Structure formats: structure tokens, C-alpha cells
A and B are shown apart, each in its own frame.
Chain A
């Protein structure tokens, strides 16, 4: 039996070796994918100097506020501010047109008199407060108050811009403006009280500090690599569903499966042979992804994957994820009767499993129902197990539940396949 399994594994490897297309699906595509996606995602997190986003700024205010906005935007590493097109100052109309046509992603329109009106409004309020406190002589408050209308800073976004980018920009502009407001309130108080000597601390009093779990007493900052490599490795591992199911369908259509039925070898041996082969493939994929993430990423300007001290546990997770992918492939190959059925179905279902499993969008960002559904995707079990090891720094015992689920998935899908096959053969 061991001998027959061994021979079967050798055969499967020979078949794979001769199948160039399959090899490309297995090894090249996932690598290209992980490099491309990580590069893209990383650049949205990190400043890439030569790819700053250009922002149109329409300055009707020409005051201190618009100046501050301009300076802050220029200072940030993400944007360059454009105030002129073809040497002409931009009007709101021109800005709108350019943005809606997609030539620019964002235009900011700062309304007229924003600076002076803001100052006036703040002064009114401060005066009111100060006089209520009886700190100034009552004569100065007698003049009638001018009504100052609320001001709007208008933002035009390219309709093709993603929600997340929009939100990020809006919140940073919001923050900038409220800082300006706070600043002017403080300085007006200062003026009103005539206390030039007191210096208000104008920096934010409350700031954020993220506390990160420590690994080996070193803080490991989660970066896009730490998230992407496990996610895309799982995606790659599950892509073996396609070549594996095609392999099984071919066994049926080319008659070798029938021949094996007449040989003194049980179907189980054949299945075990395929399981071993394709699990080894999964491990090779995993180590390849890790190697690329550790050695290649730094040289293309990406952070390298931190796998120090996790090598063994991540390998275990990869192996068990491989098992569940193999189970799925065996089931699909057994149920499908042609490659035309198994290949597209395999590809689509892997993408769906990846999507609901949290490979594209993190599970916590999904709607409530989807979060429950996510828990049913084996890719989610694998992904969480990887995060447990890589980011949450857990021990082997703590990943047992998740890898058991993965193994159970393999056992169940394979059993269904064996049972289905037996049923179908009683014609």
C-alpha cells in the first residue's frame, strides 16, 4: 500500500511537470498577484514621492484659512496642490469640469471671505462670553451684531474615486479646518483678554498612540505585507482546486480511472496519492510566497514579511489549509463530468470563498450577516489561523480549533466524493 501510494505520488508529479499551464496557475499567478496587490496597497498607506495625488484648490478666500489649508496639503506627503491650469487661476467651474472628467481626483473650493468671516464669528462668540463674565466694560457690546452665515468648503470628487479614499480625504480636511477654528478661538481670547504674555498651548492635547502586541519583546507593526502575504498565499493554495479537479475529471474522461478500478488498488490509495502530491504543492507555494515576501519585497521598496519565530506554526497552518483545498478539489473533480464544468466553477467558487473569507475585505468591515457567512469559508479559518500566528502571536494549542476545522473540511469533502463515486458506479 505504501509502495502504491508512493508510485501514485510520483505519477501525479510527472503529470504536473508535463502540464505547463497548470504549473503557471499554481506558481506564477499567485506570486504576481501577491506582489502586485501588496505594491498597490502599500502605496496607498505609504508616501511614494513621485506618485502624489494632485488636488485642485480654488481659493476664493485668499485669507489665512486658505493659506493654512494650502500649506498643510503641500506639507503632507500624499498631495500636491494645483492652483493654476494653463497659467490661469482656476475657477470653481473649471475645477468641477476637470474633476468630473477624471483629469483630477479632487477639487477643494474655499468660499469667499472664509477667513474674515471665521474671525468675525469667533470674535462675536468670544466677546459674548467675555462680556457675560463681566470682564470688559459694557459699552463695547452695545453695537448691533452682524449676522454671519455659515460657510461651506466644497469638495468635488472624481466619481471613480473609491469610498475609502474619499473618507480619508474628507476626514483629514475636516481635522485641518477644526484645528484652524480652534487656533483662532484661542488667539481671539488672548486678544480680548489683552493678555499677550500668556501662551496657549496650541498643539492638540489628546493624541493617539497605538499599542501593538510585542513579539520577542519587539513591537511588530502590522503592515500591508503582514496582512497580504497570508491572504494571498491562501488564495494561491486554494487555486489548486482548479488543476486538481481537472486532473480528476481527466482521469475519468481518458479512461485511466476505469482502468484503476480494475487494478488491485483501492480508490483510497489513488485519493491519498493525490492528496499528498497536492499538499506538497501547497507547501511549495507557501514557502515560495514567504521567500518572496522576505527576500524580494525589501528590494522593491516593500516592507519584508516578519515570520521570525513563526516558521513552524505558519507551516502547520499552510499544510492544513492545503488539506482543505485538496478536499474541495477532489469533491469538485468527482462531481463534475467535464473540464468545462470544473474549471470555471472551481475558479468562481475559490474567488467567492476568498471574498467571503476576508481575503479582499477584512471580515470586521463586512455587514453582520456576511460576518457569519465568512465564518463558513475554510479560507477564513486559514486566514484567521495565519493572523493568530503572525499578528496575535499565539501558541500551537490556540490554533488547534482552526486547523481541526480545516482538516474536518478535508475529511468531509473527501468522504462525500468517495461516497458519490461509489453511488455513481452502481449503474
Chain B
């Protein structure tokens, strides 16, 4: 498998910050992976993903997505990536359908094709009944699902998700995870952040453990557990690597 994302010594120090939020990170992510970026709050997950999505500029270092970089090919990259932000990014007074059709058309989708895609995705995530309800009336889990669909309508090659399962009821969480698995089987590379280690353990094909802006380890979940002495799960791996516990709760 080919690396679709190549990251070389990437660092980020925010203007007002004293410390680097991301410190000299190098990482390759292969095509068709479900790649979990795991770490506690403040580890630098959002910072890394924001750079990969082109929202903020690196302080130093370099990366490519599908061989392209933002300096020269920003619009090309934006067409092949999908982004699901940590906060819901939807118009509360528009209906689910209106939101999705709008964001879909920003990717150049139109007409019947767009309409069908929206209906299909809403159906898969169990929201078809609510298609014409305003998003502001939705529960947190429902909003998260709409938020997710808004990032995948254009069949992105690479999908970035920032904590897509935070604050979500079990029902929504399962729906989201199952849907992501389907997407992955259809060839989408998924990069997703979480501080929920148990969830990542059976969902991800690859994992990187991030703390204080640095990558501590990167491998398949089972390889990481095996390589760590007396580790039964990722929690144990994390404690052994960083010397502290990572709580599973939010």
C-alpha cells in the first residue's frame, strides 16, 4: 500500500502560544486505512488535523496529500478531502436536507445526483424521517450525523474526522462507526481523532499515539498491545508510553 499522506517534521506554534502545540511530527498514512490519532485533550490532535485540512499553516515542516501540497494545489486537495469538524458546522435554521444540499453543491455536485446522494446518506444514518426538520431541533447525536454526511457527499479520497463520537449517544455512535466502515470498504482513507481508546481499538487499522505535540508510537492496535509488556489493551499501552492514564470518559 502507498502512503496517501506523508508528513515530514511538521511543527506548529500558535502566534500567542509559548510552546509548540505540535513538535516535529513525521508520519505516513497509507491508503485505505482507518487511522486513529489518539491522545488526551490538548495533545495536538486538532492542531494536526487542522493543518492537514488547510485551515492553519505549519510553522515548519512539510506534508503532502495524494502527492499534492497546499502551497500549489490547495483547491485540488480540497476536492479530494472531506472534513468533519469537531464542532457541528451547520446552519441551525436550515433543514438537514437544505444544509446537505448546500454543502454538497460547494463540491460541485448538482441536480438529481446531489439529491439522491443526500437521501441515500440520510437513510443510511437513520435520519431520512427528519430530512425536512430544522437542524436546531435535532439532538446532539443527530447533529453529529448530519455533520458527518456534510463531509462525505462528494466521495472524498481522504476523510478527516475530529472526535466524531464525542458526546454522542450509543445509538448515534454505532451508526457513525458502521457508516465509516462502509465508506472505508469503498476506498476512503479515514483519519480520525479520539481520546476514546477502547473505541479505537476495534475500529482502527492503524494508530498513532500523540501527547504534548509528539508521536509516541505508531502501529496496528494489536501490534502495539503485543509490543508492550503486560498490556491487555490500548489503555495499558498509553500508560506505559506516556507514564499517565488516559481517561476514557469525556
A19 and B93 form a contact (CB under 8 A): yes
Does residue B83 face the partner (Cβ distance < 8 Å to A)?
A: yes
- Tell whether, in the assembled complex, residue A427 and residue B54 are in contact, meaning their CB atoms are under 8 Å apart: no
In the complex, are the beta carbons of B90 and A256 less than 8 A apart? Answer: yes
B88, B90, B105: residue with the most chain A Cβ atoms closer than 10 Å: B105
CA distance A19 to B103 in the complex (A): 20
Is A263 in contact with chain B by the CB < 8 A criterion?
yes
Contact B93 A260 (CB under 8 A): no
A3-11, A178-186, A336-344: which one contacts chain B? A3-11
Q: Please, how many angstroms separate the alpha-carbon atoms of A264 and B77 in the complex?
A: 8
Complex CA–CA separation, A427 to B79 (angstroms): 24
B106 within 8 A of A: yes
Hey, which chain B residues are within 8 Å of A14, CB to CB? Answer: 93-94, 98
> Is residue A265 contacting chain B, with contact meaning CB distance below 8 A?
yes
Whether B81 is near chain A, meaning CB under 8 Å from some CB there, is yes
User: Which B15-73 residues have a C-beta within 8 angstroms of A?
Assistant: 15, 53-57
Question: What residues on A are CB-neighbors of B108 within 8 Å?
Answer: 3-4, 264
Contact A3 B98 (CB under 8 A): no
Contacting pair A427 B93 (CB below 8 A): no
In the bound complex, CA of A261 to CA of B85 (Å) = 11
Bound form: Cα–Cα A19–B108 in Å: 27
Whether B134 contacts A18 by the Cβ 8 Å rule is yes
A contact residues around B92 at 8 Å (CB) = 254
- B103 x A262 contact (CB < 8 A): no
| Residue of A7, A11, A264 with most chain B CB atoms under a 10 A cut-off | A264
CB distance from A333 to the nearest CB of B (A): 15
User: Which B residues lie within 8 Å of A259 (CB)?
Assistant: 83, 85, 89, 103, 150
Asked if A264 meets B91 with Cβ closer than 8 Å, knowing A427-B15, A427-B56, the reply is no
A15 touches B91 (CB 8 A): yes
Interface size of B in residues (CB-CB distance below 8 Å): 31
Give the docked Cα–Cα distance between A265 and B75 (Å): 8
Q: Indicate the member of A254, A261, A262, A264 with the most B CB atoms within 10 Å.
A: A262
CA–CA, A427 and B58, complex, Å: 10
Contact of B91 among A3, A11, A425 (CB under 8 A): A11
Chain A residues near B56 (CB-CB < 8 A)? 425-427
Please classify the interface of chain B as helix (H, G, I), strand (E, B), loop, or mixed, using the class held by over half of its residues: loop
Q: Does A255 lie at the interface of the complex (its beta carbon under 8 Å from any beta carbon of B)?
A: yes
B93 engages A256 (CB within 8 Å)? no
Q: Is the interface of A mostly helix, strand, loop or mixed?
A: helix
Most-contacted residue by chain B among A14, A260, A425 (CB, 10 A): A14
Q: Quick check: is B110 within 8 A (CB to CB) of the other chain?
A: yes
CB distance B57 to A264 under 8 Å? no
Contacts of A426 in B (CB 8 A): 15, 56-57
Given contacts A7-B102, A256-B89, A262-B53, contact A427 B14 (CB under 8 A): yes
Across the interface, A258 reaches (CB within 8 A) one of B15, B55, B102, B105, namely B55
- Do residues A255 and B78 form an inter-chain contact, with CB atoms below 8 A? no
Distance (Å) between the CB of B234 and the closest chain A CB?
Answer: 29
Name the contact of A18 in the complex, choosing from B94, B103, B105 (C-beta under 8 A).
B94
* B107, CB-defined interface residue at 8 Å: yes
CB <8 Å contact, B55 and A261 = yes
- Cβ of A427: which chain B residues have Cβ within 8 Å of it? 14-15, 56
- Which 4 pairs across A and B sit closest by C-beta, in order of nearness? A255-B89, A259-B89, A18-B93, A264-B78
Question: What are 29 inter-chain pairs, A to B, with CB distance below 8 A?
Answer: A3-B105, A3-B110, A7-B102, A8-B102, A11-B91, A11-B102, A14-B93, A14-B98, A18-B93, A254-B88, A254-B90, A255-B85, A255-B89, A258-B89, A259-B83, A259-B85, A259-B103, A260-B106, A262-B54, A262-B55, A262-B78, A262-B83, A262-B85, A263-B103, A264-B75, A264-B78, A426-B15, A426-B56, A426-B57
